[in-house]
Amino acid sequence: MAERKQPPPHPPPQADEGKERKTALTDEERIDWLRLIRSENVGPRSFRSLLSYCGTARRALAQLPDLARRGGAASVRICSRAEAEREIAAAGALGVRLIGLREAEYPARLAEIDDAPPLIAVRGNRAALARPMVAMVGSRNASAAGVKIAAQLARDLGAAGFVIVSGLARGIDAASHRASLASGTVAVLAGGHDRIYPAEHAPLLEEILEHGVAVSEMPLGWEPRARDFPRRNRLISGLAVGVVIVEAAHRSGSLITARFALEQGREVFAVPGSPLDPRAQGANSLLKQGATLVTEAADVITTLEPILGGAVAQPAPKTPQFETEGEAEPEADGHGDIASLLGPTPVAIDDLVRLSGASAATVRRVLLELELAGRIERHGGGLVSMS
């Protein structure tokens, strides 16, 4: 897009742990790093500043009370060693590893952003984090057409060697994850690894972990709040070479991810949609601002090849098709769920059956009701759309 800003370079740290060398943290350093980032008012940027100023996390912990007092705080809560040890033990019991910013397993592109988490909690096939990634995000209340193009893009990008990154949300996120299960996908969590949101996607996450990975910067037991999702979104874009937006309303979380992508110097792509569909307004707006238009995976691959420094496998041209299972996000059998899948773009009734999880008879009944209410239009070839 036209106004992409390159991320500012990190100031060179002045001692010891602040150096960005790729060496493993010792057990003691990992405890100190965890204590520091879990202490009150310490975020990723202040963590780096403290390491630069103090030299090590242990010295920063010792100086933190005095630094806070000089800043005007009466006191500051410091994470205790016992708390940190309990979190590390609980993480290990779940198969979660805490990876530090300076360690070789830490994703290289994520390490480039200026507010990279000092520690990320990772579960699953960690090798996926070393491969090139493309983020795909979009509407939770996705249309059938949006789900279909998201699944096709994710499947083809996965076949070309990319790992798909998304946020485990309903709609476009879930479709993107499901379509890339075999090739590898990364779920970025807004809460702790033991607080999956939405809860009904816990089985999907287990499938993701077979070939992919789940990533969080939040502690175990952390229930995601509204303000945690933008924090998660910066990690989605930070992990990726580029971000594809599929259906996004104005003021949506997907547009927040696109903004982070611009700030981080990532490529931004958008799938065009009907100007009559509110779910397409955000993506269409991004296109007006200079995002790369995407109708097939080749559009993404061609743009990213020069950035990655080599040719990327191009999927063979084909007509998008759904697999019979595994891509749809089942919702409750009902009128509202089926109607929410419809938009101005005509979609096949068979796709509505697959995506809604409802019986064919139920879908036909709901479509009849909507047609009698003057809300849908029927097209040739068994296609329907909102009127």
In the chain the domains, ranked by start, together with CATH numbers, are 16-119 (no CATH), 126-308 (3.40.50.450), 335-386 (1.10.10.10)
Strands 242-246 and 267-271: parallel
| Model confidence band, residue 372 (pLDDT cutoffs 50, 70, 90) | low
Is there a contact between 359 and 353 (Cβ–Cβ < 8 Å)?
A: yes
Q: What is the pLDDT averaged over residues 291-320?
A: 81
Which H or E run contains 99? strand 97-100
The position carrying tokens 């009907």 is 274
Residue 100's region, left for phi above 0, alpha for psi from -120 to 50, else beta, is beta
- Residue 365, pLDDT > 90, answer no
Give CA–CA dist 50/36, Å, rounded.
9
- Residue 10, pLDDT > 70, answer no
Most confident stretch, 217-221, 332-336, 365-369: 217-221
| Model confidence band, residue 73 (pLDDT cutoffs 50, 70, 90) | confident
Give CA–CA dist 368/366, Å, rounded.
5
Q: For position 140, what pLDDT does the model report? A: 93
**Phi then psi dihedrals of residue 164, to 5 deg:** -95, 130
Q: For position 360, what pLDDT does the model report? A: 83
Can you give the pTM of this predicted structure?
0.80
Q: For position 32, what pLDDT does the model report? A: 98
| Model confidence band, residue 340 (pLDDT cutoffs 50, 70, 90) | confident
| Model confidence band, residue 352 (pLDDT cutoffs 50, 70, 90) | confident
Q: For position 132, what pLDDT does the model report? A: 97
Q: What is the pLDDT averaged over residues 104-112?
A: 96
| Model confidence band, residue 8 (pLDDT cutoffs 50, 70, 90) | very low
pLDDT top residue among 38 and 369: 38
Q: What is the pLDDT averaged over residues 359-383?
A: 76
